Amino acid sequence: MATIYSIAEHCGVSPSTVSRAFSRPDLVRAEVRAKILATAQELGYQPNRNARGLARGTTGAIGLTVPDITNPFFPPLVRAVENLAWHQSQSVLLVDTGEDLDRERQALLRLREQVDGIVMVSPRAASNVLRDALAGTRGVLINRASRLLPHVIVDDAPAIDVALGRLAELGHERVAYLGGPADSWMNSRRRSLLHATAPEHGLEIHDTGSYPATPEGGRAAVAALLDSRATAAVAFDDVMASGVLVELAARGVSVPSELSVLGCDDVILSSMLNPALSSIASAPAKLAAAALAALVDTELAVGLTAIPSSFVERISTGPRP
């Protein structure tokens, strides 16, 4: 394997010069540098990251923890993080915590030794636990406020405002909120935004309770939804909403003519459903970019970056029956 030594020998210079040619090119005479880079190329040299990391105290990698990559909300986020990291020559260490708080903590302990910073999606863990597990390693929370850690969240306010406005325009008066997991930060957030925004549009919000953020959760919520006499429903996320659509179809309730349904997150899935789901869209690429920025920007010691969401109207929403 090519090392700076083999290159040095090849070029008749010292290893330090080769090292400089890569890390501080300006400190090396142009022709020497050119020669070094050329033979590096030729020998297929790739710096050994362990060695570099050991010497520099840095790793060239960032950690990314998600609760369940199988949830369609995450892949676009992971993809965006990976992409951005790639372009800054960083690698991404991914860990799927399986919604297991203890495993999540373990993962942070393990990751913090091998990365320069960690992006965490953790809707449930107590943030002091996270802070302690990080032990000084830079960490950024996604979609979760915290007084202890920098965080980046999608701000659903604008989209919720638009969505409710649109529902009002369509003649709806009573809107049900099909809640997600009670301990999820985004769930509380969405619920309170709905309640806060509804009056401005002359709408009434009816809470149907908390359900798992799964298709089954959505199906289970339908009974309460039908009882509520609401003419439109907002589900905690699109995955739940998919279950709602399935269950409504099974019960012969047609969407949107008898009932309007909207989801949140606008995952890829939403446009594949039948009827295509109207949704409150987060912007995963922006979330990722903000998170990565916050990982570096120490100004933002414990700050918040908010990414505005938008409302995507498809065909699961229509006029009040």
Partner DNA sequence: GTGAAAGCGCTAACAG
Partner DNA sequence: CTGTTAGCGCTTTCAC
Which of 12, 26, 44, 147 binds its own copies (CB under 8 A)? It is 44
CB-nearer residue toward its own copies: 128 or 192: 128
- 91 contributes a contact to its own copies by CB under 8 A: yes
Least distance (Å) between residue 238 CB and its own copies? 9
- 55 contributes a contact to DNA by CB under 7 A: yes
23 binds, among DNA, its own copies, none (CB under 5 to 8 A by kind): DNA
69 binds, among DNA, its own copies, none (CB under 5 to 8 A by kind): its own copies
- What would the DSSP string read from start to end of 232-270? EEEESSHHHHHHHHHHHHHTT--TTTT-EEEEEE--THH
- Do residues 189 and 195 touch, judged by C-beta distance below 8 A? no
**Which positions from 216 to 245 touch its own copies by CB under 8 A, shown as an x/- string?**
-----------------------x--xx-x
- Do residues 293 and 285 touch, judged by C-beta distance below 8 A? no
**Which positions from 144 to 173 touch its own copies by CB under 8 A, shown as an x/- string?**
------------------------------
Least distance (Å) between residue 86 CB and its own copies? 7
Which residues in the chain belong to E strands, given as ranges? 61-66, 91-96, 117-121, 138-142, 151-155, 174-179, 204-210, 232-235, 260-265, 278-281, 304-308, 310-312
Residues 108-127 interacting with its own copies (rule: CB under 8 A): 109-114
Within 10 angstroms of residue 114's Cβ, the number of other Cβ atoms is: 13
- Do residues 105 and 135 touch, judged by C-beta distance below 8 A? no
CB-nearer residue toward DNA: 43 or 94: 43
- Residue 72: asked if its preceding bond is cis (omega within 30°), the reply is no
Which of 36, 37, 95, 292 binds its own copies (CB under 8 A)? It is 95
Task: Give the strands of the sheet with 232-235, arranged side by side.
Answer: 204-210, 174-179, 232-235, 260-265, 278-281, 310-312
- d(CA 2, CA 26) in angstroms, rounded, equals 23
Least distance (Å) between residue 130 CB and DNA? 23
**Which positions from 31 to 50 touch DNA by CB under 7 A, shown as an x/- string?**
-xx-----------x-xx--
Which of 11, 21, 40, 69 binds its own copies (CB under 8 A)? It is 69
Least distance (Å) between residue 76 CB and DNA? 33
* DSSP classification of residue 27: G
CB-nearer residue toward DNA: 15 or 72: 15
- Please count the residues of the chain: 321
- d(CA 15, CA 3) in angstroms, rounded, equals 9
Q: Of the ranges 27-35, 77-85, 179-187, 198-206, which one interacts with DNA (CB under 7 A)? A: 27-35
Closest by CA position to 111, among listed 88, 126, 91: 91
- What would the DSSP string read from start to end of 65-107? EES-TTSTTHHHHHHHHHHHHHHTT-EEEEEE-TT-HHHHHHH
- 5 contributes a contact to DNA by CB under 7 A: yes
User: Which residues would be at the binding site for its own copies (CB under 8 A)?
Assistant: 44, 46-51, 53-54, 59, 61, 68-70, 72, 74-76, 78-79, 82-83, 86, 91-96, 98, 103, 107, 109-114, 135, 215, 239, 242-243, 245-246, 249, 268-269, 271-274, 276
User: Which residues would be at the binding site for DNA (CB under 7 A)?
Assistant: 1, 3-5, 12-17, 19-20, 22-24, 27-29, 32-33, 45, 47-48, 51-52, 54-57
